[in-house]
Amino acid sequence: MTKKLHTIEENNTWEIGGKTLSSRLLIGSALYPSPANMEEAIKTSEAQIVTVALRRQAAGDKAGGDFWEIIKSLNIHVLPNTAGCHSAKEAITTAQMAREVFGTNWIKLEVIGDQYNLQPDPFETVKAAEVLIKEGFEVFPYTTDDLVVAKKLADVGCKIIMPWGSMIGSGKGLMNPSKLKAIREKFPELKLIIDAGIGKPSHAAQAMELGYDGVLLNSAIALAQDPVKMANAFKYAVEAGRLGYESGAMQQREFASPSTPTVGTPFWHQFS
């Protein structure tokens, strides 16, 4: 009898924000060539969490309504974000509005401190996170790869932290893998998601190999020449990276080591 091969979904379910999921890829909903292309890419990715900007939905025009109908039809979890906010007060107000509009206590907290590189403001982010957690939100804070900031967020009650790989939309991948690894090792009990800077499937695989719980990306799929095909690539990259982490990669060596032993007589010599 052929042994049944278990699927990723069967073997790799995980929990975040009180939800049990099978996909570790979180996907954005902006920048796609068309709504239809966005819908197909998200479906192909098999992501179960999609980020949505409140300001897009709150615009109230027909395009915004059509967009929201597509998102609802996907039947996946919505993660509203506070994109465009520059202070804790602004982010808190936006989060409160998002909870009413989308009917969820999840919020991706973004408080931008520098408009040039879109680096999050650590002080305002921590301040906003503390207030929102007290108000019953499940906060997904976007931050840099700074270990101290991650600790501050954990101290105010964040169970999820989302360090950047590099600047938003840069596609540079993981600028500081050693810093990201330090955060993973420091907070084994937290859910850690790489958010921002991922440009290639290999970047996503690298993040997962570090032991991160998931990857959130948007531009790398939406701006690809073929977003749907790229969504498929990222789906498999995230799965491969996670399996690589769980299986325990071999340690690097400073010397060569042959995979085929050279000691002894080759087996075919006995037939000569």
The residues that are catalytic are 108
d(CA 42, CA 44): 5
Q: Is residue 247 a contact partner of residue 198, using CB atoms and an 8 Å limit?
A: no
Residue 264 tokens read as 């002894």
> How far, in whole angstroms, is CA 249 from its chain's centroid?
22
- Residue 53 CB partners (closer than 8 Å, separation 6+): 29, 30, 80, 81, 83, 84
**Single-letter code of the amino acid located at 271:** F
Residue 43, classified by CB atoms within 10 Å of its CB into exposed (0-12), middle (13-18) or buried (19+), is middle
What residues does 106 pair with on adjacent strands?
A: 138
